[in-house]
Structures are given as C-alpha cells and as structure tokens.
Amino acid sequence: ANVNGAARVRKAGGAAQFVEAMLALRAKHDATVLCLQHLDIPEASNEHTRVKAEFERLGFAFILRSNSKREAKSMDKQSGRGVAIICSAAMLLPGSEYPKSSSINAAEYPDAYGFYVGVILQMAGGASLHVMSVYAPVNNKSNDKHRPAVNIATEESILKIRKVHGNIGTAVAADANSVMNLNLDTLFGSQLRVKHSFMQKMITQMGFRDTFRECHPYETAFSRSISKLHASGVRYEASRIDVVLI
C-alpha cells in the first residue's frame, strides 16, 4: 500500500485512527502482513512512538524505517522515504528486522535507508517467509543516487537472507515506480524507460515473478492514475507501479 503520507497520525487521536484503518484493511483482505511505502512518519518521532505502541497493545508489530525529523530538514528534494511492515507480533522472528535502525549516515546503505525494510515471519507448520517492503524512488535527478542504491540494497539483503536461511521464500511488496510492459501496464506513460528500473532488476536479473501478471497475463490494469493539464488539454496518465513479487 502506498500511503503517500500519514498526516492523520499528527492529530489528536491520530495514532489510534491510523492503526484502526490499517487493521481494518488487513481484515478486509484477510492479509497476513501489510507492507506500506511512502509513509510520512519520521523514525523515532513522537508519532512513530505512538503508532508503534498502539499496534503493540493490539498484538501487532510495526517495523518502520524512515528519516528522522532532523534529517528531513537537511535532505535534498528527494522524497518517499518511509517504509513499514505490519504483522502479528507472534509471527515475527525475533531479531529478524533489517536494516538495523540507525541514522541515515550510519546505515549500511545510506542512500537506500528508509526505502526498504525486511523481516522473517514464522508461518504455520514450521515454515518461514521473508517479506520486504520497498519504495523505489521516482525517476528524477534528485534520486539519481537513490534508485541504484535501493536496487543494490534489496538484492544484497535477499542474498544474505538466503545464505543464512537456505531456500526460504521471499515476497517483495513494492511501489516500483517502473513497469515491465509499456502496453499493458501504462496508459500514455513512460515508466518502463527509467534509469535503474526496480522491475527490470527484480524480474530480469533476479528471476522474481509479478504475481498479478502471473494470474492475469494479458489484462490491462493500473494502480496509479493522474490527470495533467497540457496546452492541448487534460491528459490522463495511469500505470501499474505497485506490485507483489515472489
């Protein structure tokens, strides 16, 4: 889910409202885990503390990686930092959350910190599942160093987990800001032709599969739409940039 800012958590009672909305979404879709991107909640902030405490009170884990409020003031115009995973606390393998919570500059991949987060869930029957939530920054000049960094951090994280946990399955929920099929996945868009495409990295290079496209190989569908005003009139653009990869 691309939350695109969680402004409600800043208001009185906002943390409880946000948690209620997220758990209602989970129940509606009978979801095991929720993966959020573009989540405008600074890490280690009062808002983060309130939301995390409310989830924990209800038996859930809320794992957030984002920038701090201080870092947000000093950063360039790139945006989108703030990803999270919501799951049952009982399913979360203790200590499996990554990357380690830190300042951006102290992170293993500073240019990717706040754009990816992962955990291992303990499933029924003793099986385990590796889950990642990823936001691939939009294709603009201010993100030139962040897009390749996210690709590298995602790939290396997956390889590290596989090295330790063997043939564990991996599910990546992402706001990819790129597509694989220009004809089926966009309308008047050019999301395929982006530098350091997350979709090209995951599918072409790493062998992941797009769950929607596997089930609907020829269906045209979109997860994002926008109307833009041009000299010739209003132009409607749409694309399917939100994906679950396995």
| pLDDT at residue 229 greater than cutoff 80 | no
Residue 190 has pLDDT above 60, yes or no: no
Peptide bond into 99 cis (omega under 30): yes
pLDDT tens track for 113-125: 999 999 999 998 8
pLDDT value, residue 142: 77
> What pTM was estimated for this model as a whole?
0.91
Report the pLDDT value the prediction gives residue 187, as an integer from 0 to 100: 85
Using pLDDT thresholds of 50, 70 and 90, give the confidence band for residue 74: low
Query: By the 8 A CB rule, do 216 and 222 touch?
Result: no
pLDDT mean over 59-79: 81
Helices (H), 38-195: 46-57, 69-74, 146-165, 182-185
| pLDDT value at 173 more than 80 | yes
Going by C-alpha positions, the residue among 169, 173, 144, 163 that lies closest to residue 2 is 173
Average pLDDT, the chain: 90
* Residues of the chain above pLDDT 90, percent: 70
Going from the C-alpha of 68 to that of each of 21, 50, 223, the distances in angstroms are 24, 15, 29
> What distance in Å separates the CA atoms of residue 198 and residue 167, rounded to the nearest whole number?
23
More confidently predicted of 42 and 232? 42
Closest CA relative to residue 10, chosen from 40, 36, 33, 52:
40
Give the per-residue pLDDT at 97: 98
Share of the chain above pLDDT 70, in %: 93
49-62 pLDDT per residue, tens: 999 999 999 999 99
Burial readout 60-82 (b: 16 or more C-beta within 10 A, e: otherwise): bbbbbbbbbeebbeeeeebbbbb
Q: Indicate the pLDDT class of residue 77, thresholds 50, 70 and 90.
A: very low
**For residues 139-153, average pLDDT:** 89
Higher pLDDT pick, 3 / 106: 106
Res 238 pLDDT > 50: yes
Taken in order 85, 90, 91, 97, is the CA torsion positive or negative?
Answer: positive
Q: What is the pLDDT of residue 130?
A: 98
5 phi-psi bin (left φ>0, alpha ψ -120 to 50, beta other): left
